[in-house]
Structure 1
């Protein structure tokens, strides 16, 4: 019960890594608000976790305003924020990624962190405490070819995490990131370009531990970084990658 009595917002919580984080947080005692573009999926996960839910587009300021108001109305405070929602473009030469795809990737992966700070950080600063976790990627540490602008968006997130951490530390707010390697989630096929036994084997050959990451792996790492056990840790990008970045 490391998160007993804590309140937490998890974006992209209806599936994949986000769902794993929601389930771990709930198991450790937190009350969770599950936010996702898939409103029905968010409702299902929240119901199972004993939490609340809302449909939202993390790239829209109005949705962040509404989400923050919902959390404050329900709880009166926000202890934990997990910026997990993310997307990628398909693997291709960097010059072939359309402007529309580029804007979409940066809006969801980067602008969403900025918008979350606009609305949630003031609540945490007023309380004098809080933990923010940004779900970045090994792609921001050791980029893969043909995912150039996705790589760049996650590198932005890692730098934003460090900048947020150093600014918010005097206010009692910690900010960390986790850098997962790809997992068997809805985004896997997009990372690989196609999901075949051959492409899976090629991808797995780059991970020394020899398996994809799981939602449970992300939930465990997120729980530690957002708990009081990590009270001296801020500005860290924790690689949860089976050795991929070595």
Structure 2
């Protein structure tokens, strides 16, 4: 049913593993990230298409979607995976610049990409948006207040997208992964989920029957109880 997929945040962690998984299954993938060397290596290893983009720049986000659409012909699936928390700090110790950076990457960019995807998919009557949020949006950990707020905003936006898209035959899923052992973290967390495991979980959504829609999915490593 789905053939072409745009994946953001593809040069490390979950996105990197996801592109490997998808290409191994025969999907046509357009990958994006900010690390040009890592993206070039990913393209060589998997055969995916791709280009770099700084998603904190709204014009670059819009341009990315159009490049992907041109390269693939059309986009069946958008995976809004890119995101980051640049440091942990109590709210009183954060700056406006940090707030705006978190907003630009974790909320504005997936909004823009999701909006463009809906504009393409609604007239066609098919498509799939997968928004990777975080259990931070459910737990609201205090040292990650800005990140949690932006991810909570993305979760809310994703639910609105679902309600607007589903009557047009478009699926929208909001994912809440727990701890993942990725370069996102300052130190290794081997008791957390591996990126390949998260990727495999995400890919199962694309293989579900047409009459099944997963609105929300929370999944964690066995070491996490909440």
Question: TM-score, normalised to structure 1's length?
Answer: 0.84
Q: 2:159 aligns with which of 162, 166, 181?
A: 162
**Residue of structure 2 in register with 1:219 after alignment:** 199
Gap runs ≥5 in structure 2 = none
Residue 34 (1) aligns with residue 31 (2): yes
The number of aligned residues is 225
CA contact (8 A) 2:5 2:27 kept: yes
**Residue of structure 2 in register with 1:242 after alignment:** 221
CA contact (8 A) 1:32 1:52 kept: yes
Change in CA separation of 1:59 and 1:120 when aligned onto 2, cut-off 3 Å: farther
CA contact (8 A) 1:64 1:115 kept: yes
Q: 1:132 aligns with which of 129, 132, 148?
A: 129
Aligned ranges for residues 84-233 of structure 1 at < 5 Å? Answer: 84-189=81-186, 195=187, 211-229=191-209, 231-233=211-213
**Residue of structure 1 in register with 2:11 after alignment:** 14
118-127 or 147-156, which deviates more: 118-127
Partners of 2:130 and 2:104 lie apart in 1 by 18
**Residue of structure 2 in register with 1:65 after alignment:** 62
CA contact (8 A) 2:32 2:51 kept: yes
Question: TM-score, normalised to structure 2's length?
Answer: 0.91
Gap runs ≥5 in structure 1 = 190-194, 205-210
Q: Secondary structure at the match of 1:141?
A: helix
